[in-house]
Amino acid sequence: METPPDRTPRWSLEPPPPAAPAAAATPPAAQAFGTRRRSWLREKLGAAGAAIVALLAKLKAVILFLPKIKLLATAGTALVSVAAYSLIWGWSFALGFVLLILIHEMGHVIALRREGIPASAPMFIPFLGAVIGARSLGDNALAEARVGLAGPLLGSLAAGGVAIAGAAVHSDFLEALGYTGMLLNLFNLLPVVPLDGGRAMAAMTPWMWLVGLGALIALDVVASSPILLLITIVAVYELYRRWQQRRSPTAGQTAYYRVSARNRALVGAVYVGLIVVLAFGMHAVYLHRAIP
């Protein structure tokens, strides 16, 4: 006997068996937010890195540019001096005069560096010449004398060369420029600090500072120049300071002024020789200009 087919409906009141757990799906909105966040971080980090690289490049450029800044300062102060002197002599003569001052100061710079002392490039001060920066003028009075005389020595060669060129080509302009340059170097040989002649006296006979101060005061009375007055004030202070040191010297100061007789003679020969050559050169140029 056959069993009748099952007609029971295919549903049940029991809940269906639980499905196997599936991996949690990230909502599309969350995926977009994460992508945007990573892009934002990459963008900020990239910008910060680029800024750091740019800053380092600028710092490197500044470091490499520092020597040029000093040269620019020298050139800038030189231009200011040319402009100031041009009010008196005209720009062409002022330019030549500033160049002669530069050569004079470079003599000091070269001598300082030969002594192993770092020296800055010259900085020009209108109507006062120029100055250079250095921690000292040497370890002893002989080194100070070498540094002091190096400026007039190189400056006199330059001024004499200009005067000789002027005489060769019959240029009153060059002769006048050479004469003025020689006068500048001769003035700097006055035996009183802070002038170059006073530096030489430190190794020769320091008592000559008194003679140099007397000559400077006489010039100040005759010329009545505010520039000479300023130099005189500095000279009085420097002479007082040095003389006080020599009255109660320390061992180091005594050693500083200890110079052999041979070296004193050499410094004296250079000093007197410069004065003679400059005086002769100025006399020759002056006579040539006076002849019609």
Please report the pLDDT score of residue 67 as a whole number: 47
Residue 263, token pair as written in the block = 């070296």
Residue 259 has a CB neighbour count (10 Å cut-off) of 17
Tokens 């007789």 sit on residue: 261
Please report the pLDDT score of residue 42 as a whole number: 58
- Rounded to 5°, the CA angle 29-32-37 comes to 125
Check if the beta carbon of residue 145 is closer than 8 Å to that of residue 202. Answer: yes
Please report the pLDDT score of residue 246 as a whole number: 76
Per-domain residue ranges of the chain: 42-290
Mean pLDDT for each 10-residue chunk of the chain (292 residues)?
A: 44 45 50 54 56 50 46 81 91 95 94 89 86 83 94 96 94 94 96 93 90 91 86 91 81 85 94 96 76 47
E strand or H helix at 123: strand 123-125
Residue 256 has a CB neighbour count (10 Å cut-off) of 19
Q: How far apart are CA 161 and CA 168, in angstroms?
A: 10
Check if the beta carbon of residue 189 is closer than 8 Å to that of residue 183. Answer: no
- Rounded to 5°, the CA angle 253-257-263 comes to 160
Please report the pLDDT score of residue 242 as a whole number: 86
Residue 255, token pair as written in the block = 């050693």
For 219, 257, 289, the CA distances from 16, given in Å and listed in that order, are 123, 114, 128
3-state secondary structure of 125: strand
